[in-house]
Amino acid sequence: VPEEFDSTFWEERYRGRAAARAGKPNPQLVTEIGDLPPGTALDAGCGEGADAIWLASRGWQVTAADISITALRNAREQADELGSDVTDRITWMEIDLTDRAPDEERFDLVSTHYVHPVGSRDALFRRLAAAVAPGGTLLVVGHDPSDRSTGHSDTPGVHFTAQEAAALLDPGRWEVAVAETRTRNATGHGGREVTLRDSVLRARRRP
């Protein structure tokens, strides 16, 4: 991932546009996590908070972490509009996840979607995996290499397969439930409807 994808890039991106209106949760999150009983969750690279808000509204106690203070501010404003049931369940955390991660073995769910770190993505994923409690779930969603053909994710270095992410997990400690390419409908550049291709990894840390 290019060096320019640093905190300044994300700050400028979020400052330069209107805050997202009550964004929808990611469909891969809804599919993969919808049936899990709520517990503690880390949304790593939460952006403007749609996934964190969805998790909190389903009873999860969420730590929503991002490098961009503007994204966090926008996210918090949206959560506040939904009342204390949601907002009391979310802790917003400004953090560079390439530097450090929240505590090890702490979360029942660690979920990360389209975080393109400057530096080693593998190191970031390993750190996030370490934050999952025994018996907990890791959900990693990103741009599959086949998504390049949609023209939506054209930045070099942001693509990886679910199998590549799964290969980072020690099979003695992890049970991989899903490692595949999934589609997702979205509004692309110019407002046209596009079908995007995500890599989706869901794994359970053995108790």
Paired tokens of 11:
């700050």
Q: Find the part of the chain contacting ligand SAM (CB under 6 A) among 81-89, 108-116, 132-140, 172-180.
A: 108-116
**94-100: Cβ within 8 A, 24+ apart:** 94/65, 94/66, 94/67, 94/68, 94/69, 95/65, 95/66, 95/67, 96/7, 96/67, 97/44, 97/45, 97/65, 97/67, 97/124, 97/127, 97/128, 98/123, 98/124, 100/127
Cβ neighbors of 135 (< 8 A, separation 6 or more) are 108, 204, 205, 206, 207
Number of helices (H), then strands (E), belonging to the chain: the values are 7, 7
Query: Which of residues 84 and 187 has its CB atom nearest to ligand SAM in the complex?
Result: 187
Is 168 or 186 the residue whose CB approaches ligand SAM more closely?
186
Interface with ligand SAM, residue 96, by CB under 6 A? yes
| Segment interacting with ligand SAM (CB under 6 A) among 63-71, 130-138, 147-155, 169-177 | 63-71
β-pair partners for 141? 113, 200
Tell me if 70 sits within 8 A of 14, measured CB to CB.
yes
Check residue 63 for interaction with ligand SAM (CB under 6 A): no
The verdict on 10 binding ligand SAM (CB under 6 A) reads yes
Does 115 bind ligand SAM (CB under 6 A)? Our answer is yes
**Torsion 140-119-145-143 (CA) sign:** positive
Q: Pick between residue 113 and residue 205 the one whose CB is nearest to ligand SAM.
A: 113
Pick 82 or 95: Cβ nearer ligand SAM: 95
In the complex, least distance from residue 104 CB atom to ligand SAM, rounded to whole angstroms:
17
Q: Does 25 bind ligand SAM (CB under 6 A)?
A: no
Q: Is 199 in the site for ligand SAM (CB under 6 A)?
A: no
74 makes contact with ligand SAM (CB under 6 A) = no
Residues in the chain: 207
Q: Which stretch binds ligand SAM (CB under 6 A): 111-119, 131-139, 145-153, 162-170?
A: 111-119
Q: Which residues bind ligand SAM (CB under 6 A)?
A: 10, 26, 45-47, 66-68, 71, 95-98, 113-115, 117
